[in-house]
């Protein structure tokens, strides 16, 4: 079995070696990605001390079913994203290795300050990687808002340390409910606001459109699948295990998440560029998934997190490829493009239908559980989710019809009418699209294949964190 510390140490060590041997940096990146992905599957559950100091005085990593699933998902998605965007990596191999270490650390750490360090490592790497699109003012905007978010989080944990005397997450999960109401209120607001920037929640998400709408075949899957999944996993950990929110503050947080969901889904119906539609869809999914975590629906949230991660991996990669080859990702101009590239069209279509939640696809099982979970809270939230899903269906079906059927509504679709747009270097995207499409169909026909697995993954979210229950190793 593998010590999970290696998932952080290996990419950092390879990045250091890459500084000395720059000509091998790309090879080092893929060596590290493959090694990390294999090691993630064999990581052993337990509590791992760093530096020989026992928690809560020392820092430790915690591997339970939830974090184990997180590191497997992150490393697999990171490897696939890098393969899709291989041609775009260039001189960005070292920031990518550092980003991988930071993202693994965010999911594994059981210490609030250690999380802040990994959070900074991952976000600074994201700022650097986002410069790939050459729109530096958008990166600057992202940097400013990201810095504000991390500062708010830091202020929150300073207050926690002053009151509790420990930054260990297991300690906070036990002691948070015993803190005074005012302290709980301040800490909850600060940490929620800090994470909301990266989680893309209103009103902290003004950076998202500038970054996501200009992504390429490397940054598209990296941001929409890898970074997004990581922050959702972290949000679920914080607001399921550590911080209990109730009363008016709970209502405010819930309102923020579901307003984000509805506003983004409505905005997506008003745009006609593929990457912009997917950007708004990503913001909407962020609102839905974080909202589910807040109402205690960890199982439904993890189901949808998986649905969103793999669907966006395929759809954003396809949209970025269309833009890179045609200097445009307009749906009207790309009409009929899937007739020329049916394998990619298959994966894109199944992913979109799964996100909508139609029967026979994995997303139907996820959406069914989401609605069931929402009905356990009140009648407003399920109505909001149904309305958002309806809007999602409108813009995705419209996009799919355009991308499969060339010509006007009254015209017969023919090859002659098919767009002159092209897509190149499609091998990896085609393979990923077919595999993901097949898995979404299998998940829809046999949902029990994923149900028990996700149940085991989400079970730790119902309990207080304890580094002792799994044994200090």
The model's confidence at residue 413, banded by pLDDT at 50, 70 and 90, is low
258 vs 49 pLDDT, higher one: 258
Highest mean pLDDT among 22-26, 115-119, 424-428, 447-451 belongs to 115-119
The answer to whether residues 256 and 196 touch, using CB atoms and an 8 Å cutoff, is yes
Cα separation, 288 vs 373, whole angstroms: 12
Rounded to 5 degrees, φ, ψ at 333 are -75, -25
- The pTM of this model reads 0.93
**pLDDT greater than 60 at residue 380:** yes
What does the pLDDT look like over 296-319, one tens digit per residue? Answer: 999 999 999 999 999 999 999 999
Cα separation, 310 vs 439, whole angstroms: 10
**Predicted pLDDT at 2:** 82
Cα separation, 47 vs 449, whole angstroms: 29
**Predicted pLDDT at 55:** 75
**pLDDT greater than 90 at residue 449:** no
**Predicted pLDDT at 302:** 95
For the beta carbon of residue 65, count every other beta carbon within 10 angstroms: 16
How much is the average pLDDT of 70-90? 94
- Which residue, among 10, 51, 16, has the nearest Cα to 31 in the 3D structure? 10
**pLDDT greater than 60 at residue 287:** yes
% of the chain residues with pLDDT over 90: 68
The model's confidence at residue 112, banded by pLDDT at 50, 70 and 90, is very high
Rounded to 5 degrees, φ, ψ at 330 are -65, 135
The model's confidence at residue 39, banded by pLDDT at 50, 70 and 90, is very high
**pLDDT greater than 80 at residue 416:** no
**pLDDT greater than 60 at residue 448:** yes
| Paired strand residues for 299 | none
Rounded to 10 degrees, what is the CA torsion of 352, 355, 359, 364? 160
The model's confidence at residue 343, banded by pLDDT at 50, 70 and 90, is very high
Q: How far is CA 324 from the centre of its chain?
A: 23
According to DSSP, residue 413 is labeled P
How much is the average pLDDT of 20-47? 92
% of the chain residues with pLDDT over 70: 96
**pLDDT greater than 70 at residue 469:** no
Mean pLDDT, the chain, rounded, equals: 90
**Predicted pLDDT at 410:** 55
**pLDDT greater than 50 at residue 473:** no
The model's confidence at residue 470, banded by pLDDT at 50, 70 and 90, is very low
131 vs 450 pLDDT, higher one: 131
Where is average pLDDT lowest: 3-7, 25-29, 186-190, 449-453? 449-453
Name 197's Cβ contacts closer than 8 Å, sequence gap at least 6: 145, 146, 148, 149, 150, 204, 205, 207
What does the pLDDT look like over 203-226, one tens digit per residue? Answer: 888 899 999 988 899 999 999 999
C-alpha pair distances (Å), 463 with each of 173, 237, 290, 324: 9, 11, 18, 46
The model's confidence at residue 421, banded by pLDDT at 50, 70 and 90, is confident
Cα separation, 48 vs 36, whole angstroms: 18
- Which residue, among 117, 115, 118, 145, has the nearest Cα to 130 in the 3D structure? 145
What does the pLDDT look like over 152-197, one tens digit per residue? Answer: 999 999 999 999 888 889 888 888 888 899 999 999 999 999 999 9
Which residue matches tokens 């889904």? 265
Burial label, 341 (beta-carbon count in 10 A; 0-12, 13-18, 19+) = buried
């Amino acid at each position: 079995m593998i010590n999970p510390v290696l998932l952080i140490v290996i990419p950092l060590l390879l990045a250091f070696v890459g500084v000395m041997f720059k000509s091998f940096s790309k090879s080092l990146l893929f060596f590290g990605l493959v090694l990390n992905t294999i090691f993630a599957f064999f990581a052993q559950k337990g509590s791992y001390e760093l530096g020989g100091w026992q928690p809560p005085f020392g820092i430790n990593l915690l591997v339970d079913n939830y974090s184990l699933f997180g590191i497997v998902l992150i490393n697999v998605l990171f490897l696939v994203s890098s393969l899709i965007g291989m041609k775009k990596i260039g001189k960005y191999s070292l920031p990518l290795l550092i980003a991988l270490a930071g993202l693994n650390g965010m999911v594994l750490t059981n210490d609030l300050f250690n999380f802040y360090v990994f959070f900074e490592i991952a976000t600074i790497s994201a700022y650097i990687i986002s410069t790939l699109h050459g729109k530096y003012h958008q990166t600057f905007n992202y940097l400013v808002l990201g810095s504000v978010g991390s500062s708010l989080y830091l202020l929150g944990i300073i207050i926690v340390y002053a009151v509790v005397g420990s930054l260990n997450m297991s300690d906070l999960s036990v002691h948070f409910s015993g803190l005074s109401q005012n302290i709980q209120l301040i800490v909850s607001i600060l940490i929620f606001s800090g994470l909301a920037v990266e989680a893309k929640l209103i009103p902290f998400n003004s950076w998202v459109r500038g970054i996501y709408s200009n992504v390429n075949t490397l940054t598209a899957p990296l941001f929409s699948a890898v970074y997004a999944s990581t922050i959702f996993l972290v949000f679920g950990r914080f607001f399921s295990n550590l911080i209990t929110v109730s009363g008016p503050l709970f209502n405010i947080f819930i309102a923020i998440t579901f307003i984000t969901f509805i506003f983004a889904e409505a905005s997506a119906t008003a745009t006609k560029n593929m990457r912009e539609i997917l950007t708004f869809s990503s913001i909407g999914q962020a609102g839905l998934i974080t909202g589910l975590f807040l109402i205690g629906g960890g199982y439904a949230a993890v189901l949808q997190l998986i649905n969103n991660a793999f669907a966006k991996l395929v759809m954003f990669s396809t949209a970025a490829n269309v833009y890179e080859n045609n200097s445009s990702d307009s749906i009207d101009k790309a009409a009929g493009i899937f007739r020329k590239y049916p394998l990619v069209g298959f994966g894109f279509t199944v992913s979109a239908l799964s996100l909508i939640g139609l029967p026979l696809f994995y997303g139907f099982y996820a959406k069914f559980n989401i609605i069931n979970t929402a009905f356990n809270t009140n009648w407003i939230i399920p109505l909001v989710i149904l309305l958002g899903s309806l809007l999602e269906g409108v813009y995705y079906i419209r996009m799919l019809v355009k991308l499969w059927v060339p010509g006007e509504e009254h015209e017969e679709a023919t090859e002659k009418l098919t767009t002159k747009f092209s897509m190149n270097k499609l091998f990896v995207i085609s393979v990923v699209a077919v595999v993901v499409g097949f898995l979404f169909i299998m998940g829809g026909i046999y949902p029990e294949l994923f149900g028990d697995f996700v149940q085991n993954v989400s079970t730790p979210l119902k309990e207080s964190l304890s580094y002792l229950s799994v044994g200090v190793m």
